[in-house]
Amino acid sequence: MIKTAIIGLGKMGMSHCALLGAHPEVDLVAICDPDGLLQSAFKKLTGFQVYDDYKKMIETEKPEAIFVATPTRFHSEMVLYALERGIHVFCEKPFSLTSEEGEKMVAVAKAKGCVNQAGYHNRFIGTFNEMKRLFAAGVIGTPFHFMGEAYGPVVLKPKGGTWRADKKSGGGCLMDYASHVLNLINYITGSHLTEARGTFMPRIFSKEVDDAIYATLKVENGLQGQLSVCWSDDTHRKMTTSLKIEGDKGKLEADATTLKIYLKEDNEKEALKKGWNTRYITELTPQVYFNLRGEEYSAQIDHFVRCIQNGTMNHRNTFEEALQTDYIVDKLIEDAK
């Protein structure tokens, strides 16, 4: 079993705690968070060792793997501290506050040969993976336009008090919401976003951070499209992420539950007929060891664990891929000035 510890017990830290605790190949030995109430609850209700100092936890427990689920401004120091000791690291997104921080984490992970993974969970959703496969197979011909979207009811009135409302901590719709869409575009197209134009980042309710972002983007292979993301949209019960790609032979549309394929001609090889075809997440999702919030959260943890067990590098959701997302985030911020 892989001796594992968690730093940070916010929403994602709690989620990881439950999923790691249920994993048959993981020995979750310790958690770390500065909140006294959380520490007291975990001491009372679990068998985990509880710390308020991540360095002390690492030196005392000597874990093989660490999950970093803190606000982004703490990622670099914590990730580097673990990597320099040969510890495998799963780091939540947004990956880094600056590209310079991200580049250093990528370099140290490579130098130490540690398995590293970022928490962009959309890469483990069946509909998006099938979309990626069909796109690579050329079923829609030559692509000429994409539309990446995400909407949700995160900020619906003026408020503060959390890291998501703090620009210096990595808050804002671009960093927290749109980064998912940007990472997904890179993943599905098998390329990287390189240009941003006409970027508009309005503050709807927030005082310090953006609540929405709209822009025109270009991928290094020449494909262009639009980004439309807003976390102040109360027409959605929870976050919804979607991607559409148009080609000269058809169209692909996917979200977390459904993949729609429109073709101008039959495709016998893929068993797709002319017109609209639909595939659902239920037929595209492998069984997971434990389902909480969605199979993708379990699947990403299982992938990380298997890479450590097999002594293989993660090629699906690496720090390097997360850094590519940070690069286009930087360009969007610069273009919006």
Q: What is the pLDDT of residue 59?
A: 98
In whole angstroms, give the CA distance from residue 302 to residue 21. Answer: 12
Q: Do 162 and 231 belong together in one domain?
A: yes
pLDDT at 162: 74
- 72 with 175, same domain? no
In this structure, the answer to whether residues 270 and 129 fall within a common structural domain is yes
Residue 165: predicted pLDDT: 74
In a domain, 296, yes or no: no
pLDDT tens string, the chain, 337 residues long: the values are 999 999 999 999 999 999 999 999 999 999 999 999 999 998 888 889 999 999 999 999 999 999 999 999 999 999 999 999 999 999 999 999 999 999 999 999 999 999 999 999 999 999 999 999 999 999 999 999 999 999 999 999 987 767 677 777 778 999 999 999 999 999 999 999 999 999 999 999 999 999 999 999 999 999 999 999 999 999 999 999 999 999 999 999 999 999 999 999 999 999 999 999 999 999 999 999 888 889 999 999 999 999 999 998 888 899 999 999 999 999 999 999 9
**Tokens standing for 255?**
């979200």
In contact, 314 and 115? CB cutoff 8 Å: yes
DSSP-derived pairing of the beta strands 258-263 and 275-280? antiparallel
> How many domains does the chain fold into?
2
Residue 141: Cβ within 10 Å count: 14
28 and 152 in a common domain: no
pLDDT at 168: 74
- Report pLDDT for 204: 95
pLDDT recorded at residue 188: 98
Res 235: pLDDT = 96
- What's the 3-state SS for the chain? CEEEEEECCCHHHHHHHHHHHHCCCEEEEEEECCCHHHHHHHHHHCCCEEECCHHHHHHHHCCCEEEECCCHHHHHHHHHHHHCCCCEEEECCCCCCCHHHHHHHHHHHHHHCCCEEECCHHHHCHHHHHHHHHHHCCCCCCEEEEEEEEECECCCCCCCCCHHHCHHHCCCHHHHHHHHHHHHHHHHHCCCEEEEEEEECCCCCCCCCCCEEEEEEEECCCCEEEEEEECECCCCCCCEEEEEEEECCEEEEECCCEEEEEECCCECCCCECCEEEEEEHHHHCCCCCCCCCCHHHHHHHHHHHHHHHHCCCCCCCCHHHHHHHHHHHHHHHHHHC
In a domain, 239, yes or no: yes
Handedness of CA 63, 66, 69, 73 (dihedral sign): positive
126 in the same domain as 251: yes
| Residues 188, 330 within the same domain | yes
In a domain, 206, yes or no: yes
Task: Tell me phi and psi for residue 224, to 5 degrees.
Answer: -125, 160
116 and 178 both lie in a single domain: no
- Tell me, yes or no, whether 329 lies in a domain: yes
| Domain region containing 22 | 2-120+305-310
- Strand order of the β-sheet with 250-254 is 193-200, 212-219, 224-230, 143-151, 240-247, 250-254, 258-263, 275-280
Give the strand order in the sheet containing 49-51: 49-51, 26-32, 2-7, 65-68, 88-91, 116-118
Domain-located, residue 269:
yes
Residues 211 and 263 both lie in one domain: yes
Q: What is the CATH number of the domain that holds 44?
A: 3.40.50.720
Do 170 and 159 share a structural domain? yes
In a domain, 244, yes or no: yes
pLDDT for position 65: 99
Residue showing tokens 């060792």: 49
CB atoms within 10 A of CB 113: 12
**CATH code of the domain containing 162:** 3.30.360.10
Answer yes or no: do 106 and 155 share one domain.
Answer: no
Q: Does residue 90 sit in the same domain as residue 239?
A: no
Task: Examine residue 274 and state whether it is found in any structural domain, yes or no.
Answer: yes
Q: Does residue 299 belong to any structural domain of this protein? A: no
Cis, peptide link before residue 94, omega less than 30° from 0: yes
Structure-token match 């490579």, residue found: 110
Same domain, yes or no: 234 and 132: yes
